[in-house]
Structure 1
């Protein structure tokens, strides 16, 4: 029996066409939903390759636009911080100009000085706390510090001004010459003295105090000349426990020469064996001497305004205050406020007096368990107020060795050198420079010296604000390096394309590179106020230049 296959060809054709139309309709819907003509290789193999490339670039560039917006936000943040800093500097300039007015007394200037210091602290807070996405943007990077090499190198002490602008020392070509350099303008002066020079202090205005053969001199930078200010050799005596106020107007020293108040340096009488606390007013050349303060004066420190003195004594009974232990005492210039800050320890060897402020607050370091705050017996910094309230500034449990300890004018910045690995950045045990800012709470290893660098031991120097320091180069005494620890910038990389071709780098300079000498200026005298005014003017110009660079990046 034959088999017959029945086919409805019309129906099959209709079904096939319906399936084709359904597929085409699905493709249309897919294109409508995606907005793309090519959604798979079958749509257009060659076109798909081009489409995928363009799609990838489009998504990357969209992300790049967002990245650049983040960069603009970062620059806006930096510009806002600089704008606020500029406003603070303008007010500091007003205060400096007011304090520089000759009609004010030094007591009146002290009120202005307090506000000046408060504004100074606020700028440091801005520098330390301005962040974008938890990243510091105004702190710079200490790993890219610049330095300047000068030859021949120094063989005697180099004293830098508090803001790092000036340095002075015995000229290497002849130690009977005084060498002074302005690190900003590059001007160098060689001053012939005639005998071996030992620089004692360099002020922010370029004035230099130095000693030559037990005679003390002051070099006036603006006048370009020096004059003798203190000489006791005619009495057969020498100057002891010598210290200069930061305003450059007062010298305090211990002397076996007895003077009447208001007398000059050539009107005394030798009183061998009895050292009195003696003040020399540099402007007037007159002497004030405290008869109730007769001591060996193991150490003496003077406030920036020259009105408050702190000193160590561990032998004498001064004004009825027993001296059987290592006492820290303070006294005002008129001698009316002699007080024992604290009868601290049983021996002097473990305690060092470091500074005293205009308000009579004393900073010192000790290995002893003072007030029960240091049971570990390791070296730490302490601060004690006139009411004897005590605070511990550091909390170190290890036995560190600190050298060349220096405090800023307002005692808010502590700088020192140490070969200990205090912060975990000095595993090789190289002598490094450290800086503690008590205003912001920051503690940093400023220098990043390697084994090929040798830090000067008692020969180099650094500024009180920690911005500049000198080292002996690895090639020996022939060269000396002056480092600018604030010169570096911090780089932020933004991806605005593909790979290195699309990388955009934004460099933001350290704020402290533009605002120099924070913590090192005082308005205590007319001269120091003028010096502060000049610094503030320069800082405002520096901030303006930095803001113009940022503005160019935002335009």
Structure 2
């Protein structure tokens, strides 16, 4: 019985016929001269068709083997690098996230390095300042010794020789202390920035004052020194804060000139200008002068009992702003009696910025902490307000304008001059440490004051540098913590799961071996047809 799939192969004019050897099982055989040459199953269409030009089985096996080899390579790479994302094609979104993390981590690591270098610079400066302070302490001790009446002129001359050598060493330290080739104590290290963050403008600004012997202890204004409007003069300051008081008659129009470590500039002042505006003008030229300013306005009124009704505002008498109406009764001049007036003013603090309180002298204190003017106008009622020796404000008596004060601060020396627009009061003037001379009793006493001021200046600078060092170290610690957390986050996205990758590697190794074996069998199937040839 010949099946439907039985064919005839003609080769060299010989006919080979297929014979069913197990029809029920679909098995056939090719018989030649009574011998079985080949047996096939009906489901093997390729064998049945006898196609040898295209080995479909081998192609399918080869495709599967290629996919297996690709997966195997992926897991080999993951295990060799420890990363599940080794390129954009592995996971485009994850790759972008991991790269952003890496950018931030690199920046933070460099910021840590920058901060450590900055700490080293600051430590170098503070160490040198301490050495200068030690030398100045020796000079002061010698000055105290020289001021003693038991010393002769010859003794003091010998002591002055020692002082001169010590001052020379102070000058040497100030001019020769360097970090990475930069002088840091001669006044040239000013307005520098330490990049302590991974992003732009994450900096700490540092300026180190001039600690040369001819700069420390020079022309100092005491902390109580006040500059009043209305007189002329100038003063030089080595960094101590002092006040420009615009409340004693107000500034007249003119220009206040400042010459600081970074340069010189001027501030134009108009009549009745607020301390707030003057401070803003000073701060606008801080980069040129190295001098910054703050402003505040405060006035204390003696209050009588009675009724009060007045307008409270900022601005000037001709241009009031943020005006509010105040009404209250004062039954006594103690804090309890003034409480109604204080409460009425403080209810409008959010609008005017003016706060009221009662001081220990039972005076009404009005304050504007931004330095804006305080204007009292439209006064009515039976009570009165009086500031100092000024004329008391009463019903129909006009207005009171309080302008406040400006405080200047710099870590380095600067000079201030005002011509006819600004005057000076309570100013104590001293010479530089380099001029110390203990060859006389008077010179020795003056030397003590000069050296005290010089030591104080160095101590202030050392304290400021210590605070800067703490800031830098805190920034370094924060950068290290942030970098650690980012690395942990990056690991979640990028790093390979070794256990999982090992399991997958074993799987694809087995599949690859099976694929290679199957491919060999698929290729050998074609070779079976050669047996059909005579």
TM-score by length of 2: 0.36
Which protein shows a greater Rg?
A: 2
TM-score by length of 1: 0.35
Higher RCO structure, 1 or 2 (CA under 8 Å, sep 6+): 2
Larger strand percent: 1
